[in-house]
Amino acid sequence: MKDVKILLSEDEMPRHWYNIQADMPNKPLPPLHPGTKQPVGPQDLAPLFPMELIKQEVSQDPWIEIPDEVRDIYRQWRPSPLFRARRLEKLLDTPAKIYYKYEGVSPSGSHKTNTAVAQAYYNKQEGVKRITTETGAGQWGTALSIACQMFGIECEVYMVRISFEQKPYRKALMNAFGAKVFSSPTNLTNAGRHILATDPNTAGSLGIAISEAIEMAVQDEHTKYALGSVLNHVLMHQTIIGQECLLQLEKAGDYPDIVIAPLGGGSNFAGMAFPFLRHNLVDGKQTRCIAVEPASCPKLTQGEFRYDFGDSAGYTPLLPMYTLGHNFRPAAIHAGGLRYHGASVLCSQLLKDGLIEANALQQLECFEAGIQFAKAEGIIPAPEANHAVAQAIREAKLCKESGESKTILFNLCGHGHLDLQAYNDYFDGKLQDHYLTEEELKGSLKELADYPPVA
Ligand SMILES: *Cc1c(COP(=O)(O)O)cnc(C)c1O
């Protein structure tokens, strides 16, 4: 069999992150202060983030150097492998070439470690002693626990209650790396107490957990907050993924027609797609970049582009984004990492400008695709990653029908070793497709009527 694995040496690892803000034809609208409704300034964000990350958040420089200490840690698993999915191609009997980048080789098992290490590094530089954060399924909490442990920073994780109860192994993992893990909502915060008083049996949500983590961070000058996706600097830290793919595909003598990644908040999609979008914007390439979301949380395909909060309690700035409303409570599908109500500002603006595409898929098709992929390639994907696998299989089947040999690249952003309960549920016939009613879809959007318009 011909080459299936395309590797780079450590020396070939990219030295900069790519900041797409520099090349966007329409710059994103500014985040607004929740009280004054005026654009937020660096000083508004200073209680939450170290100054270097705030600078990155608003930077217009196309390239930001990756610090040596961060690169040294990246070397443990980067450059990550790019695979040509020859067995899957054969199984599908498609003329398409399918490549996947495998981020499951990172110590936390997903792409999240790329930004966790960078964020912990900048916090350490500025003397931060403790970082608070939220986690849904647990991937982000795990990645940040590892990174904080490496830099000697305490880590506190507010974990969405339903995941805390359903995924005890994730908690054990975070505890092993020294993190404290709370089931959110807690009665430690105003935001948590408020929810518990109105809905004691709540399953929790990412929005609530973010409010709790922010509330704890602003109370103490040595404590800051970290977010695992959505923000510009987080998306930028992930661009090492797509940059490595560019170099690897060059070695393979290929260039993608289609780039695919799942989208929760937007970080792994951005990480994969933005370096290719740069060539679309700067060199006139025409790669289609497709973000795939779950049909039960379809902000890109059925949400509205408007100002909304990033959390439930309304502590974050108002962000101009595709959203289902910050009180939208997605159904308990297994792709926990995709259950966020909004999409990052950068991905939202690019979608609005027609520079990227979005598609929503049902979970049964995604699991079926994930199992087909596992059988062919020997890797069990995270349920989130199954969305990219399913879209790649759709595109490969279209190639079979038309006889075109397109090159398809997707991000296998994490492995599914800690999601096997979801696979068991699938095999036992317990998973269902989920169709939102108009009421479910529009209910949480109505609350946004009084917020500033995006025009
Ligand atoms: C968190 C996560 C996602 C979704 O988050 P993004 O910010 O959109 O990247 C997808 N896949 C995996 C494996 C995750 O851990």
pTM of the prediction? 0.97
Ligand 1 probe mutation, 384, 391, 410, 411, most atoms within 8 A of CB:
384
What mean pLDDT comes out for the span 384-406? 98
Find out whether 295 and 434 touch, Cβ atoms under 8 Å: yes
Question: From atom 1 of ligand 1, which residue's Cα is the shortest distance away?
Answer: 337
- Asked if residue 64 has pLDDT above 80, the reply is yes
Ligand 1 probe mutation, 103, 110, 174, most atoms within 8 A of CB:
110
* Residue with the larger pLDDT of the pair 328 and 179: 179
Burial grade of 119 (CB within 10 A; 0-12, 13-18, 19 or more): buried
Burial grade of 241 (CB within 10 A; 0-12, 13-18, 19 or more): buried
Ligand 1 probe mutation, 139, 260, 268, most atoms within 8 A of CB:
268
The residues spanned by each domain of the chain are 2-10+68-109+238-449
Find out whether 415 and 104 touch, Cβ atoms under 8 Å: yes
Q: Is 141 in the pocket of ligand 1 (CB under 6 A)?
A: no
Q: Is 268 in the pocket of ligand 1 (CB under 6 A)?
A: yes
Question: From atom 2 of ligand 1, which residue's Cα is the shortest distance away?
Answer: 337
What mean pLDDT comes out for the span 233-252? 98
- Asked if residue 363 has pLDDT above 60, the reply is yes
Question: From atom 10 of ligand 1, which residue's Cα is the shortest distance away?
Answer: 384
Q: What is the C-alpha separation between 264 and 336, in angstroms, rounded?
A: 9
Q: Is 384 in the pocket of ligand 1 (CB under 6 A)?
A: yes
Q: What is the C-alpha separation between 387 and 370, in angstroms, rounded?
A: 8
Q: Is 148 in the pocket of ligand 1 (CB under 6 A)?
A: no
- Asked if residue 367 has pLDDT above 90, the reply is yes
User: Sign of the C-alpha dihedral, residues 83, 87, 92, 95?
Assistant: positive
Distance 338 CA to ligand 1 centre (A): 7
Ligand 1 nearest atom to the CA of residue 136, by list position: 1
What mean pLDDT comes out for the span 286-292? 98
- Asked if residue 236 has pLDDT above 60, the reply is yes
Task: Grade residue 380 by pLDDT with cuts at 50, 70 and 90.
Answer: very high
pLDDT tens per residue across span 251-287: 999 999 999 999 999 999 999 999 999 999 999 999 9
Q: Is 267 in the pocket of ligand 1 (CB under 6 A)?
A: yes
What pLDDT, on a 0 to 100 scale, did the predictor assign at position 207? 86
Question: From atom 14 of ligand 1, which residue's Cα is the shortest distance away?
Answer: 337
Q: Is 139 in the pocket of ligand 1 (CB under 6 A)?
A: yes
Q: Is 296 in the pocket of ligand 1 (CB under 6 A)?
A: no
What pLDDT, on a 0 to 100 scale, did the predictor assign at position 104? 98
What pLDDT, on a 0 to 100 scale, did the predictor assign at position 450? 83
Distance 360 CA to ligand 1 centre (A): 15
Ligand 1 nearest atom to the CA of residue 238, by list position: 9
Task: Grade residue 167 by pLDDT with cuts at 50, 70 and 90.
Answer: confident
What pLDDT, on a 0 to 100 scale, did the predictor assign at position 313? 84
* Region of residue 220 (phi > 0: left; psi between -120 and 50: alpha; otherwise: beta): beta
Closest CA to 270 of 7, 6, 24: 24
Q: Is 303 in the pocket of ligand 1 (CB under 6 A)?
A: no
Find out whether 162 and 186 touch, Cβ atoms under 8 Å: no
Q: Is 136 in the pocket of ligand 1 (CB under 6 A)?
A: no
pLDDT tens per residue across span 37-47: 999 999 999 99
What pLDDT, on a 0 to 100 scale, did the predictor assign at position 306? 95
Burial call 76-114: b when 16+ CB within 10 Å, e when fewer = ebbbbbbbbbbbbbebbebebbbbbbbbbbbbbbbbbbb
DSSP of 160-198: EHHHHHH-HHHHHHHHHTT-EEEEES-SSSHHHHHHHHH
Distance 347 CA to ligand 1 centre (A): 14
- Asked if residue 1 has pLDDT above 60, the reply is no
What mean pLDDT comes out for the span 395-407? 98
Task: Grade residue 449 by pLDDT with cuts at 50, 70 and 90.
Answer: confident
Distance 189 CA to ligand 1 centre (A): 26
3-state secondary structure of 292: strand
Task: Grade residue 455 by pLDDT with cuts at 50, 70 and 90.
Answer: low
What pLDDT, on a 0 to 100 scale, did the predictor assign at position 329? 80
What mean pLDDT comes out for the span 305-312? 92
Pick the CATH number of 2-10+68-109+238-449 from 1.20.272.10, 3.40.190.10, 3.90.930.60, 3.40.50.1100: 3.40.50.1100
Q: What is the C-alpha separation between 365 and 292, in angstroms, rounded?
A: 13
Closest CA to 136 of 217, 74, 77, 205: 205
Distance 336 CA to ligand 1 centre (A): 9
Ligand 1 nearest atom to the CA of residue 382, by list position: 13
The chain-wide mean pLDDT, for the chain, equals: 95
Q: Is 414 in the pocket of ligand 1 (CB under 6 A)?
A: yes
Q: What angle do CA 374, 378, 379 make, to 5 degrees?
A: 70
402 CB neighbour count, 10 Å cutoff: 11
Distance 110 CA to ligand 1 centre (A): 8
Share of the chain above pLDDT 70, in %: 99
Q: Is 409 in the pocket of ligand 1 (CB under 6 A)?
A: no
Residue with tokens 């049909």: 295
Q: Is 266 in the pocket of ligand 1 (CB under 6 A)?
A: yes
Distance 449 CA to ligand 1 centre (A): 29
Q: Is 412 in the pocket of ligand 1 (CB under 6 A)?
A: no
What pLDDT, on a 0 to 100 scale, did the predictor assign at position 451? 86
Q: Is 419 in the pocket of ligand 1 (CB under 6 A)?
A: no
What mean pLDDT comes out for the span 50-71? 98
Tell me which H or E stretch contains 116: helix 113-125
pLDDT tens per residue across span 98-112: 999 999 999 999 999
